[in-house]
Amino acid sequence: MYVSDPVAVLTRASERGATVITDVSPFYGGYDIARFRDPWHNLWWLFAPAKPGRPAENWDEGDGDWENAESNPVYTTLVEAMRTLTDPRGATPSAPES
């Protein structure tokens, strides 16, 4: 989903019981990315224009090797979220954490 203020969206989602998967992070193409899982286990991807003045991420064609991306939070947070996925049919919304 494209948004103008991913920090505000993550804050509102968290207040309503979502779990932040990926904090706002630089992404390629002049965008930032963030992710959260809602109380019903839907995984939402947020994209927003990068903040002005931030250097552009260098994502060359040759940099697409996921094996070398281990330290990149855009990669590691997604892998962790995928490892912990559960069957949503048994999920019930949880109260926001304090």
pLDDT in tens, 63-74: 555 555 557 777
Give the tens place of pLDDT for each residue, 74-98.
Answer: 777 777 877 877 777 775 555 555 4
Q: For tokens 């949503």, what's the residue?
A: 88
User: Cβ contacts of residue 14 below 8 Å, gap of 6+?
Assistant: 20, 36, 96
- The verdict on residue 91 lying in a domain is no
CA distances to 4, 6, 89 from 92, rounded to whole Å, are: 30, 25, 8
- The verdict on residue 95 lying in a domain is no
- The verdict on residue 67 lying in a domain is yes
Report the pLDDT value the prediction gives residue 76, as an integer from 0 to 100. Answer: 79
- The verdict on residue 92 lying in a domain is no
**Residues 35 and 55: beta-carbon distance below 8 Å:** no
Q: Whole-number mean pLDDT of the chain?
A: 80
**Token pair belonging to 75:** 């990669």
